[in-house]
Each structure stands twice: as structure tokens, then as C-alpha cells.
Copies of this chain bind each other. A is one copy, B any other.
Amino acid sequence: MKALLLESVKTMPLYKDVEIPRPGEGEVLVKIAAAALNHRDLYIAQGLYPGIVTPVILGSDGAGTVVETGASVSKDLQGMDVLINPNINWGDNPKVQDKKYNILGMPTNGTLAAFVCVKADRLAPKPAHLTFAQAAALPLAGLTAYRALFTKADLKKGEKLLISGIGGGVALIAFQMALALGAEVWVTSGADDKIELAQQLGAKGGTNYKSENWHKALEIKAGGGFDVILDSAGGDGFQYFLDLANPAARIVFYGGTRGSFKVNPQKMFWKQLSMYGSTMGNDSDFNNMLALINQHQIVPFVRDLRPLSEGAAAFADMDEGKQFGKLVLIP
């Protein structure tokens, strides 16, 4: 079969012929109809995580059809259209992943291939209102966004939410879930066109974080502060979130691309603020996320569909940070 194979770190994955895997005990073979890229795939290729194992087929997000079942797996799954839960071995503690936790697509072979083998308990029915490409855009981003916004920050209907860096996969699906829930959503971006697009899609407003005193401008526009703030950048700009936070606000982040940030403790304790670091999510987060997507018929944004053979070019695109929606590859 064809697959995007990462042969060693600090190289780009290559479109190669590899053997079709066979489902082992408790596993199924899924014929991939669509697979989405995540920054995680890029960071692995760039060697930015510890303990990277190569060669490996990258890819955590995939949707497709079960074509073969291994031992101890019901044959009824055969032919089922599925979305794959990328969590492997989260463990028993809902609050934090086990040391054995890993994510589909390193060290185990992932979805950027014609076929993938996964445990049968990793399958969820593909949401009926979504195409395979739209469904493939969900797993990793949806899981991360759900845990951050709901499990951690406990976002409620009617609350004011600020999402920084709108356009990324997690930020966008968080945006859609929050709107569906009835939150009032505001955004920041370094690109005015992304802010405009977000406003067309339901954002109440937004500000370009590259402009001077963006936080003051945003506070004026929004008529006050925010109950929940979702970030993945950190860095110097983060400190303004403490000013933009309403009393009892929750600030949650799932990344820190701009590095460390400074916290004024007085600002946090007088306002009784909470701050959460969040990454991925457990199976319960995954199932709750899918339930919300189905209930509100949310359709994730797919920015571009390409053949798997053009995977390397898609990786380069993602690296430029111009995305608004997910990049999906079709084997």
C-alpha cells in the first residue's frame, strides 16, 4: 500500500510503498478514506518531541471503513464506516494520561496511509452528517478542544470566550463547539482576514494581536472582559489575558509556541482566576466531543483536500501557519 513514511527525524515524510498491515488480536484493519494533518505530525518530522521512533507512518486523524477483523473481534464491524479515536492507553485516571499513553501515528503506525490497524475499541461510528474528509478533521483537534474548553474550563452557555490564534485546527473546532453551546465568542489572530472570516462565521468580534495595545482595544470592543480564555501561544502576549479575565475566569492553554509567560500573582488571586494546562483528552472527552458534534450537526472546516501523494507539500503548507481549517489527505 502507499503511505507517508517518516524514515528519520528532520526529514519530510515520503510517499512510499509499504506492506499492508494485518489486524492482530482485538484489532481491525481500516481502509482510510480521509486522513487529516496535525501540527503534531509536523513537530514529529521536525524532531521536536523526545523519544521519536522511526521509520513510522505518521497521522493521528483518520476516517474510513472496516475491511478486516482480527481475532476476538465481532465480524459485524466489517463494512462499518468509522472515525478513529487516536488515544492509546490513557489509563485509569481521568485527570491525567498514564506514562504508557501515546497517540496513534508514532510510535504506532498512523493514518497517513491506504490502511491502518487499530484496536476495535478505538472505533466510533462516523457522524452521519459528515463526509469522510470532514470526519477525519475531527479527532485530535476536537478532543483537545473539548477537554480544554469543557472538561477543564467548564465553559457555559452565555459566557464570553476569547480564542487566540483563530485558524488553527483546535482553535477552530473550539470556536464551533462554543458557538453551538451558545457562548459569545471573540477571537484574536495575527491576520486580519482570519478575524473577518471568524466574524462571518459567528464570532462577535476580534483584534489583531500584532496591533499596539490590542488588549485594550479588545476590552473596549467587547465591553469588558472574558469568562474563559483559550490559548496555545503563551509568550509575552499572555500576560494581558490576566487583565482581560473577568472575576472567576478560567484561562486554559494546550500549547505554548511562543514560550514562557509571566504571571502577576496579585491579578490572579484578587480575581480568583484559574489556569489550566491541557493536552489531548481521555476517551470520555472523545465520546462527549462526538456527542456534541452530532447533537449540533457541527461541520469542521476543511481548508484543502489533496491526494496523499502530495503529503509533503501539505506539510510545508502547514508550517507556514496560514491555515484556516484542516488539511485533509485522500489515499
Chain B residues near A247 (CB-CB < 8 A) = 93, 95-97
Contact string against B for A residues 248-275, beta-carbon threshold 8 Å, 1 for contact and 0 otherwise: 1000011110011111111111111111
**How many protomers of this protein does the assembly include?**
2
Complex: how many Å from CA A253 to CA B96? 22
Task: Say yes or no: B265 contacts A263, CB within 8 Å.
Answer: no
Stretch from A125-133, A193-201, A276-284 contacting the other chain: A276-284
Task: Say yes or no: B274 contacts A274, CB within 8 Å.
Answer: yes
CB distance from A58 to the nearest CB of B (A): 20
Task: Say yes or no: A95 contacts B277, CB within 8 Å.
Answer: no
CB distance from A62 to the nearest CB of B (A): 24
Chain B residues near A263 (CB-CB < 8 A) = 234, 260-263
Task: Say yes or no: B264 contacts A256, CB within 8 Å.
Answer: yes
Task: Say yes or no: A260 contacts B260, CB within 8 Å.
Answer: no
CB distance from A49 to the nearest CB of B (A): 10
Task: Say yes or no: A269 contacts B255, CB within 8 Å.
Answer: yes
Q: A270-B277, A273-B276 are in contact. List 15 more A-B contacts (CB 8 A).
A: A93-B247, A96-B272, A152-B274, A253-B268, A255-B265, A255-B269, A256-B265, A259-B264, A262-B262, A269-B279, A272-B277, A274-B274, A274-B275, A274-B277, A275-B275
